[in-house]
Structure 1
Amino acid sequence: MATPITTINKQQLTEEQLKDQKLENLKQLLSENEEAVNQVFTIMAELNDIGALEAATKLIEAKEEIAHIALGQMTRKPVTNIINNLMGVAGVLTEMNPETTTKLVESLNTGLDVANKAVESDEKVSVFKLVKLLKDPDINRALNFGIHFLKGLGKGLE
């Protein structure tokens, strides 16, 4: 009978053997992905030709200076004002009813189209015509909306 195995000897590779094994794995990977590797080298050559690689290298070398400049620009008063205003507008928009907003924007577009056509016709508006236009239901609706909008705006400003 054979003697039982009591210890397992793990094969220790030398540093040279590890390098050879890694090199062999890399060769196999390159041969299996030849087309992709060629495309990567083509892209790199194009980037080098237009100077993009050099620019990227310089950006990486100057990363601390660039970060300092970017932070300096972001903390300027006009930039912080824009950010605060955008946050305020976003807050207002979240409180508004989407159907009302859509209807208002569509009405504004329609109004702009009609106004542009009126400007192109170069028609004069007399006082008599203004009084007559107050009877038009569309104009009356818009005036009613505008008056009540201004009333609400005034209450909000109080």
Structure 2
Amino acid sequence: MAKAIKQIRKELPNQEMEQSQAVSEIIQELAANKEAILEAISIIKGLHETKVLDAVHAMVEQRTEIGAIAIQQVNQPTMHNVIKNGMSAFSFLGSLQPGQLTTILDGLGQGLKRLSNTGQKGEKQSLWKLRKRLWSPEIRAAMTTMVDFMDGMGEVFLRNRRENP
């Protein structure tokens, strides 16, 4: 029969063994991720050469002062307007269907392209040519679109005037 265990000795790993094991684990991970480590070193080297790391280091050291300046700037009344306007712009963009926005932006781009061509040519058009152009399908579509746009905008203006006298 076996002897009864009367005393339990707990073995604590010594610090040298723990360090040795940690170093070997780090070396294994470095070897396994060699390409990523070399790429990260290359990026850090580039940031150091362009003095970006120095700037980041200085910002970290002065983070309290930078934070105070940032808070002061955000508390400016004009900044409040910028934030509100930005939120309104995002809300407006969210209310549009992607197809609508694409059509509007494509039309705007094409119109600006034509505008720039007309400006470069610098040719004057007679009233007769302008009158003839008013009957083209493209001009009529743009005019109808602009009139509908102004109608919708005017509707909102009047509604807001009634609600906020």
Give CA deviations for 1:34-77 in whole Å, capped at 9, x if unaligned.
796x9688887887777666554443332211211121122222
Q: Give the equivalent residue in structure 2 for 1:22.
A: 18
**TM superposition outliers: structure 1 runs of 4+ over 4 Å:** 29-32, 38-57
CA offset at residue 26 of structure 1? 4.4
CA offset at residue 22 of structure 1? 3.2
Residue ranges of structure 2 left out of the alignment (5+ in a row):
159-165
SS in 2 for 1:8: coil
Residue ranges of structure 1 left out of the alignment (5+ in a row):
none
Q: Give the equivalent residue in structure 1 for 2:112.
A: 112
- Aligned residue pairs total 153
SS in 1 for 2:150: helix
Matches within 5 A, 1:31-70: 32=28, 33=30, 55-70=55-70
Q: Give the equivalent residue in structure 2 for 1:10.
A: 10
Question: Counterpart of 2:107 in structure 1: which amino acid?
Answer: S
CA offset at residue 105 of structure 1? 0.9
CA distance in structure 2 between the partners assigned to 1:74 and 1:130 by the alignment: 51
SS in 2 for 1:25: helix
Q: 1:2 to 1:134 in 2, by over 3 A?
A: closer
CA offset at residue 12 of structure 1? 4.0
- Does residue 122 of structure 2 align to residue 126 of structure 1? no
Q: Give the equivalent residue in structure 1 for 2:163.
A: none
Question: Counterpart of 1:23 in structure 2: which amino acid?
Answer: Q
CA radius of gyration, larger in: 1
CA distance in structure 2 between the partners assigned to 1:115 and 1:82 by the alignment: 31
CA offset at residue 84 of structure 1? 0.9
TM-score (norm 2): 0.72
SS in 2 for 1:117: helix
CA distance in structure 1 between the partners assigned to 2:45 and 2:124 by the alignment: 67
Superposition CA RMSD, Å: 3.2
Identity of counterpart residues, as a percentage? 25
